[in-house]
Structure 1
Amino acid sequence: MMGKLLVLGAGTAGTMVANKLRQQLTDDWTITIVDQDDTHHYQPGYLMLPFGTYTPKQIVRRRSRFIGDGIDLRFGTADRIDTERSVVEMRGGETLPYDQLVIATGAGIHPEETPGMMEEEWQRSVFDFYSLEGATALRDKLKTFTGGRLVVHITEMPIKCPVAPLEFAFLADDHFTERGIRDAVDITYVTPLDGAFTKPVASTHLGGMLSDRNINLETDFMVERIDNDAKALVSYDEREIPFDLLVTVPLHMGAEFVGRSGLGDELRFVKVDKHTLQAVGHDNIFALGDASNIPASKAGSVAHFAAEIFTENFLDHIAGRPMAKSFDGHANCFVESGAGKGLLIDFNYDTQPLPGTYPLAGVGPLALLKESRLNHIGKLAFRWIYWHMLLPGRRLPVPALMSMRGKLPAPEIPQTTGETFAQPQKERTP
């Protein structure tokens, strides 16, 4: 069989899948991958940049370095998918036909969606660290910040890497402690969730870590606007949280063309079957990584594990066989906790993060839901793994589906059946 595979997005998920399938598909298949430019960002590095762990040069590479031989890399912006004709209409008038389409265009931040966020205090006292520009500006601000009210804030779920705002709060606590000014900084963590995290066991544990570090926790906070004159977050229920420095995670949304093509939900994430990643109502369209609406963390680990399952399923699919593999929403995340330590969480759609150990060949078991130096080293080592193994599509010695090996039960806190996300604040036009 021969065909045209078109991948929209040369980020983590798109690059991995294109490379994996090029190794598996016959030469009768052409693979084209499209993105807007030749710049690939290691997005987990954004968290570390404000604290000086990484420089911008260490987290930016050329996309073309990681696209394998036999894959056609093109630059441009998709405008709309014509699903009836199986073509992608590009800005500028070009059309790209496909037999099979993978949408991997990720999630972007939209601070303009929150009234007041991008007004006069933007990158003066209001910052993000979910972009290279924002993380770099925040790095410079932290160098001169000598005290006051620091607020770490999530606008709305879902977001890329749900633990990253918590990590920022922990690292800020450590940063100000190292500088000897921690007593002069009041830190408040503000979330639309009813706890510190999306899963009960981890939420309880991480909430306790915030308390231990004297970080205030404000829950169920749905921001309505930012009052720049008063320098305060204002919620829909009229609560106000003043700040001297606001580090916010803006609203996340999918690509505009997804909405125009009728494939997305109200936040423009592609509606898919959460086990096969096939777009609802479309036999030849799939969505991977942050671009999909699966009820799992928008994290690199999820993109990696999903890509492993998708690759096997895709080969069956184009051969006319049923897709036998079922993705379980597996995610694992190293969580930086400051002072050179971190913890590890491992979970999926049906099982929340549990304590215990995580087996890893050649390294030894890693502690789950427990701070350790080895977990911190694992977090730092992942950057090398990302560039040299993950993006090229090499197989890692980590199971794609979650294993219960080494995990301990936590009967005192109820299990959940999926990721819990805050509901959108208002209707949005795709």
Structure 2
Amino acid sequence: MRDLLILGGGTAGTMVANKLRKRLERDAWRVTVVDRDDVHPYQPGYLFLPFGGYTEQQVVRSRHAFIADGVDLVLGDVDRVRPEANTVTLTDGRTLPYDYLVIASGTTPRPDQTPGMLGTEWRRRIFDFYTLDGAKALAEALKRFDHGRLVVHVTEMPIKCPVAPLEFAFLAEAWLRQKGVRDRVELTYVTPLPGAFTQPVASAHLGSMLDERKIAVEPDFMVERIDEERKTLVSYDEREVPFDLLVTVPLNMGADFVARSGLGDELNYVPVDKHTMLSRKHDNIFALGDASDIPASKAGSVAHFSVEIFVENFLEHVAGLPMTGAFDGHANCFVESGDGKGLLIDFNYDTEPLPGKYPLPRIGPMDLLKETRANHLGKLAFRWVYWNVLLPGRPIPLPALMSMAGKETEPTTATQER
């Protein structure tokens, strides 16, 4: 009996377990998932909680409910991986063996890494929305906020769902306007990037949307500390951004056990081949989803598309064959823009987000890099797809690799400058 051990029961870990359980012989393979608890969150839903869009019950389910029959779910915290022994030790002393290991332990906000963030103002004037408790606390704070300086802040890249801070800024602007207090609030978006997004065409589109909404942008801002007494963000180059209410995205880091095991980089992400997800150090360890260091968005769509490629590669690998699949970094993300509209972006390692139609040329029905009602409805509908199709490992009729069909090519800023 061979052991496939999966560390993490989130999006990537659950999909891998469910898909491979169907493909691996039950009398030859034992499949085990390890996670600290039995709570599976629908993390995109956290964005809507502060504005009353979702309830807690709509974004949280049991992990057990989505793990296939024939997969063991072990609840416990991982202490460390011991690659030399092919074992994983839990903090309670249990030891689990593996023949193949999949690290799918995700990424986590770390407010403790920025001086002054996790202090007396935490969850009083400083909030996050990447956690359930943070989103719920922020909802209460927004009910009381009707004037002053509202700052939306990104500490450093990479972060989980890189468009989410922009979405929050757009939704907050629309929400304040609907409350009739927009003219009493100064809204600022603070980012370590030179613009609204990482890619030129999308950055230009999203940047113009910020301008239209009179949301000020403070670019290239690398926060050094938060001055709690003066309620001010302070950058390494000594710029300051004052706030009355700060909505921040803390530094994101991989799991601590990755560092203790000697498997991670400086942010605890596992270095892997970006096409196969195989560890650069160990030929029986893979890292999927947000846990790896691949140069793609840390988003659910990347987990979905990469798992599709990974499953076939894994079956080849354990059979002693070369892995023939190559993940291209494909990601697509809905971007809520307020007032019941949204955008859609679709891109990969080599191609930035471009305008056009998705998934079918000329037909769509989704528009790329364009605000539409259909894109907003698509984002809302994805919650049902996530619980009922994606996690159970059922097929979704979208190609895992990005297609240029339907896209309108535009010269990038770099091309124009040359």
Category of TM-score, reference length = shorter chain: over 0.9
Aligned twin of 1:258: 258
Q: How does 1:187-206 map to 2 (within 5 A)?
A: 187-206=187-206
Tell me the alpha carbon deviations over residues 56-75 of structure 1, each in whole angstroms, 9 at most, x when there is no partner.
Answer: 11100000000000000110
Instruction: Tell me, yes or no, if structure 1 residue 152 matches structure 2 residue 188.
Output: no
Verify the 8 A CA contact 1:273 1:280 in the aligned structure 2: yes
Amino acid across the alignment from 2:132: L
Tell me the alpha carbon deviations over residues 296-341 of structure 1, each in whole angstroms, 9 at most, x when there is no partner.
Answer: 0000000000000000100000011100000000000000000000
User: Within 1, Cα distance between the matches of 2:377 and 2:104?
Assistant: 29
Instruction: Tell me, yes or no, if structure 1 residue 305 matches structure 2 residue 293.
Output: no
User: Within 2, Cα distance between the matches of 1:332 and 1:114?
Assistant: 30
Q: Residue 360 of structure 1: CA displacement? A: 5.2
Q: Residue 365 of structure 1: CA displacement? A: 2.7
Query: Which ranges of 4 or more aligned residues in structure 1 deviate by more than 3 Å?
Result: none
Instruction: Tell me, yes or no, if structure 1 residue 277 matches structure 2 residue 277.
Output: yes
User: Within 2, Cα distance between the matches of 1:213 and 1:360?
Assistant: 31
Tell me the alpha carbon deviations over residues 16-38 of structure 1, each in whole angstroms, 9 at most, x when there is no partner.
Answer: 00000001111111100010010
Q: Residue 266 of structure 1: CA displacement? A: 0.1
User: Within 1, Cα distance between the matches of 2:405 and 2:139?
Assistant: 40
Aligned twin of 1:6: 5
User: Within 2, Cα distance between the matches of 1:355 and 1:162?
Assistant: 19
Verify the 8 A CA contact 2:106 2:289 in the aligned structure 1: yes
Verify the 8 A CA contact 2:357 2:364 in the aligned structure 1: no
CA RMSD of aligned residues (A): 1.2
User: Within 1, Cα distance between the matches of 2:50 and 2:178?
Assistant: 15
Q: Residue 120 of structure 1: CA displacement? A: 1.0
Q: Provide the TM-score with structure 2 as the length reference.
A: 0.98
> In the comparison of the two structures, how many residue pairs are matched?
414
User: Within 2, Cα distance between the matches of 1:82 and 1:233?
Assistant: 41
Q: How does 1:81-96 map to 2 (within 5 A)?
A: 81-96=81-96
Aligned twin of 2:236: 236
Instruction: Tell me, yes or no, if structure 1 residue 19 matches structure 2 residue 18.
Output: yes
Aligned twin of 1:345: 345
Aligned twin of 2:122: 122
User: Within 2, Cα distance between the matches of 1:365 and 1:402?
Assistant: 17
Tell me the secondary structure at the aligned position of residue 89 of structure 2.
strand
Q: Residue 414 of structure 1: CA displacement? A: 3.3
Q: How does 1:25-424 map to 2 (within 5 A)?
A: 25-27=24-26, 28-359=28-359, 364-414=364-414
Tell me the secondary structure at the aligned position of residue 72 of structure 2.
strand
Tell me the alpha carbon deviations over residues 110-168 of structure 1, each in whole angstroms, 9 at most, x when there is no partner.
Answer: 10110000111111110000000000000011111011100000001100000000000
Q: Residue 15 of structure 1: CA displacement? A: 0.2
Amino acid across the alignment from 1:282: H
Q: Residue 281 of structure 1: CA displacement? A: 1.4
User: Within 1, Cα distance between the matches of 2:37 and 2:74?
Assistant: 9
Amino acid across the alignment from 2:17: A
Tell me the secondary structure at the aligned position of residue 302 of structure 2.
helix
User: Within 2, Cα distance between the matches of 1:55 and 1:128?
Assistant: 17
Tell me the secondary structure at the aligned position of residue 365 of structure 1.
strand
Verify the 8 A CA contact 1:360 1:398 in the aligned structure 2: no
Q: Residue 46 of structure 1: CA displacement? A: 0.5
Verify the 8 A CA contact 1:47 1:135 in the aligned structure 2: yes
Verify the 8 A CA contact 1:199 1:353 in the aligned structure 2: yes
Q: Residue 411 of structure 1: CA displacement? A: 1.3
Tell me the alpha carbon deviations over residues 269-289 of structure 1, each in whole angstroms, 9 at most, x when there is no partner.
Answer: 011010000011110000000
User: Within 1, Cα distance between the matches of 2:29 and 2:148?
Assistant: 59
Verify the 8 A CA contact 1:360 1:397 in the aligned structure 2: no
Amino acid across the alignment from 1:10: G
Tell me the secondary structure at the aligned position of residue 349 of structure 2.
coil
User: Within 2, Cα distance between the matches of 1:308 and 1:47?
Assistant: 27
User: Within 2, Cα distance between the matches of 1:39 and 1:258?
Assistant: 21
User: Within 2, Cα distance between the matches of 1:279 and 1:195?
Assistant: 33
Question: 1:7/1:412 Cα in 2 relative to 1: closer, same or farther (>3 Å)?
Answer: closer
Q: Residue 93 of structure 1: CA displacement? A: 1.3
Amino acid across the alignment from 2:231: K
Question: 1:20/1:353 Cα in 2 relative to 1: closer, same or farther (>3 Å)?
Answer: same
User: Within 2, Cα distance between the matches of 1:210 and 1:17?
Assistant: 38
User: Within 2, Cα distance between the matches of 1:309 and 1:288?
Assistant: 11
Amino acid across the alignment from 1:18: A
User: Within 2, Cα distance between the matches of 1:247 and 1:371?
Assistant: 24
User: Within 1, Cα distance between the matches of 2:186 and 2:379?
Assistant: 27
Q: Residue 364 of structure 1: CA displacement? A: 4.0
Equivalent pairs: percent with the same residue? 67
Verify the 8 A CA contact 1:330 1:348 in the aligned structure 2: yes
Q: Residue 89 of structure 1: CA displacement? A: 1.1
Verify the 8 A CA contact 2:117 2:126 in the aligned structure 1: yes
Amino acid across the alignment from 1:409: T
